[in-house]
């Protein structure tokens, strides 16, 4: 309803404001148009406020409309004394609004999914089917060359279509995987619209073991209004972080029980959690004591998404700053960053897979991936191999289910075999309205993902929604478990989370809500 009101009330507001300007010397008519303007503008404001969309999306839209409301009457007022000129200009502007702007205005709300979710723009409405996905323009295809063969053997086909082929993946232990047989294929613009011809030619060589598309990924955390603070909660948890009163999820996950369990426990090792994202602000006041650098170029974060996730997984607790994490004395986990997405939040499957390999080679115990996009199981063989490689190195992968209110089995890496997938629940422990559902996945759990308050670049703090936010809660807990039992496998970790978790109000769609204290007790029994 509010989406439909938005364009109508804007047009009425603009028309009445124009009339008010024109008749400002006529008290009766001026008063008539003024009343219409204020009434319609109030309705316009309400439709904007209640429309479906994040404020990071809604504020620029409002600014666009306010600029028009400010400029059009001023421009027309310059022609006020030229009656016919005024009405001709008004008619011209109305034609422009109708034919060149009204469609954009009417499509403003609800917020497009490409701006709201962690997924690329999709032309095909069914992500489980092969279709037109947005591909990386600098490398549209990934191919695997058969064993005992070289890329040079298909040089004739590469030359025929003007294809550039470069090694797709880098890893230290090439004996543990055949991902070193993968190449990234850049297709020139004249063949981008006819990829089928290129694919057929590559497959016809008989030397291509596997071919899949290198899809783009885009993330965008959903801004949220903060929770109403929970005064006095610090005393319950015995720590002094002022932002703890904003962490409603600690109550849902019974973190006070966890802190009680950890009082007399020492870790076997400090587990390393790698945040594969937009980077992490290594100098954040509530992260730097728990942060270790993989590469200095990963230690900044212009987008903020990675820093927000890092704080959920491993913020420094009991330091009289910001928020807290599952380890109240900071001896159990530390966090690092592997940047797989650009400053604008964009990446590709190749970039993410390379990040998985790099994090595994860096010795990470847990890889936290708050990202993904529509795909299907026929398009993720490289992901499968990367997960297997990381598992061999002792790492557990925790990934987001996605924010499209659809079946997560159609999203990668949520649907990759061997990962723990995380759905989001709201403050009432229902499946969050945006969260993908996970009942068709083998290993899936739930965590809080609405109104999540955490670290943000520049030693700031922000509140966001998303399965992106739920994922690092699970990553932080798995890191804690790995600190107590370093050889813990993915299956063992999931079994513990599943057995000790509690049912949500949407249990079939979400999996069980993690309970950290119960999980640690089960691990140690």
Q: Which fold has domain 141-214?
A: Alpha-Beta Plaits (3.30.70)
- Residue with token string 């070289």: 150
Is the confidence at residue 383, as pLDDT, over 90?
yes
- Look at strands 373-374 and 411-412 and give their pairing: antiparallel
Catalytic, 468? Answer: yes
- Residue with token string 């390379």: 354
**Where residue 328 falls among pLDDT bands split at 50, 70, 90?**
confident
Is the confidence at residue 118, as pLDDT, over 60?
no
Report how far residue 428's alpha carbon sits from residue 447's, in angstroms, rounded to the nearest whole number.
12
The rounded Cα 177 to chain-centroid distance in angstroms is 29
Report how far residue 225's alpha carbon sits from residue 431's, in angstroms, rounded to the nearest whole number.
18
Report how far residue 382's alpha carbon sits from residue 171's, in angstroms, rounded to the nearest whole number.
13
Report how far residue 431's alpha carbon sits from residue 63's, in angstroms, rounded to the nearest whole number.
33
CB 253 within 8 A of CB 318: no
Catalytic, 308? Answer: no
Is the confidence at residue 78, as pLDDT, over 50?
yes
Q: Which of 136, 181, 277, 365 is catalytic?
A: 277
Tokens of 380: 């993720």
Name the residue ranges covered by the structural domains of the chain. 2-111, 141-214, 225-524
Catalytic, 305? Answer: yes
Q: What is the mean pLDDT of the chain?
A: 88
What integer is the mean pLDDT of 74-84?
Answer: 68
3-state secondary structure of 135: strand
CATH 3.40.50.200 fits 225-524, yes or no: yes
CB 240 within 8 A of CB 261: no
Other CB atoms within 10 A of residue 193 CB: 9
Q: Which of 13, 47, 301, 305 is catalytic?
A: 305
pLDDT, tens digit, 9 for 90 and up, residues 475-484: 999 999 999 9
Q: CA nearest 336: which of 297, 293, 284?
A: 293
Is the confidence at residue 382, as pLDDT, over 50?
yes
């Amino acid at each position: 309803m509010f989406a439909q009101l938005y364009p109508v009330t804007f047009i009425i507001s603009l028309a009445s404001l124009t009339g008010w300007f024109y008749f400002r010397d006529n008290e009766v008519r001026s008063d008539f148009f003024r009343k219409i303007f204020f009434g319609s503008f109030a309705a316009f404001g309400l439709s904007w406020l209640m429309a479906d969309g994040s404020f990071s999306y809604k504020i620029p839209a409002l600014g666009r409309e306010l600029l028009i409301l400010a400029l059009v009457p001023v421009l027309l007022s310059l022609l006020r004394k030229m009656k016919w000129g005024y009405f001709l200009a008004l008619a011209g502007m109305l034609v422009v609004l109708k034919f060149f702007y009204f469609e954009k205005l009417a499509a403003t709300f609800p917020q497009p999914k490409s701006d709201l979710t962690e997924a690329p723009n999709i032309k095909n409405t069914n992500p489980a089917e092969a279709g037109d996905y947005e591909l990386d323009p600098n490398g549209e295809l990934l191919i695997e060359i058969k064993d005992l063969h070289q890329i040079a053997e298909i040089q004739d086909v590469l030359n025929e279509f003007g294809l550039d082929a470069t090694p797709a993946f880098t890893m230290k232990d090439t004996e543990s995987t055949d991902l070193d047989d993968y190449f990234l294929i850049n297709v020139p613009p004249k063949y981008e619209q006819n990829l089928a011809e290129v694919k057929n030619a590559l497959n016809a060589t008989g030397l291509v073991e596997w071919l899949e598309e290198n899809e783009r990924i885009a993330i965008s955390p959903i801004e949220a209004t903060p929770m109403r603070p929970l005064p006095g909660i610090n005393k319950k948890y015995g720590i002094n972080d002022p932002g703890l009163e904003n962490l409603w999820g600690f109550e849902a996950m019974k973190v006070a029980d966890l802190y009680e369990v950890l009082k007399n426990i020492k870790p076997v090792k400090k587990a390393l959690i790698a945040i594969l994202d937009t980077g992490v602000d290594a100098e954040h006041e509530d992260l730097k004591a728990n942060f270790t650098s993989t590469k200095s170029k990963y230690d900044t974060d212009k987008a903020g998404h990675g820093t927000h996730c890092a704080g959920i997984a491993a913020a420094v607790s009991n330091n009289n700053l910001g928020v807290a994490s599952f380890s109240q004395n900071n001896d159990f986990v530390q966090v690092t960053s592997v940047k797989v997405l650009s400053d604008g939040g964009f990446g590709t499957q190749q970039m993410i897979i390379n990040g998985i390999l790099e994090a595994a080679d860096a010795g990470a115990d847990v890889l936290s991936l708050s990202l993904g996009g529509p795909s299907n199981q026929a398009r993720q063989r490289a992901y499968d191999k990367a997960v297997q490689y990381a598992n061999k190195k002792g790492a557990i992968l925790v990934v987001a289910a996605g924010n499209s209110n659809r079946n997560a089995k159609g999203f990668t890496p949520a649907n990759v075999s061997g990962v723990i997938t995380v759905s989001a629940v709201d403050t009432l422990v229902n499946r969050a309205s945006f969260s993908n559902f996970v009942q068709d996945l083998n290993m899936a759990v739930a965590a809080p993902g609405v109104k999540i308050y955490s670290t943000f670049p520049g030693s700031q703090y922000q509140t966001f929604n998303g399965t992106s936010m739920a994922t690092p809660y699970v990553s932080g807990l798995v890191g804690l478990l790995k600190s107590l039992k370093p050889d813990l496998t993915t299956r063992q970790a999931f079994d513990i989370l599943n057995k000790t978790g509690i049912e949500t109000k949407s249990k079939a769609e979400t999996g069980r809500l993690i309970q950290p204290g119960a999980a640690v007790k089960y691990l140690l029994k």
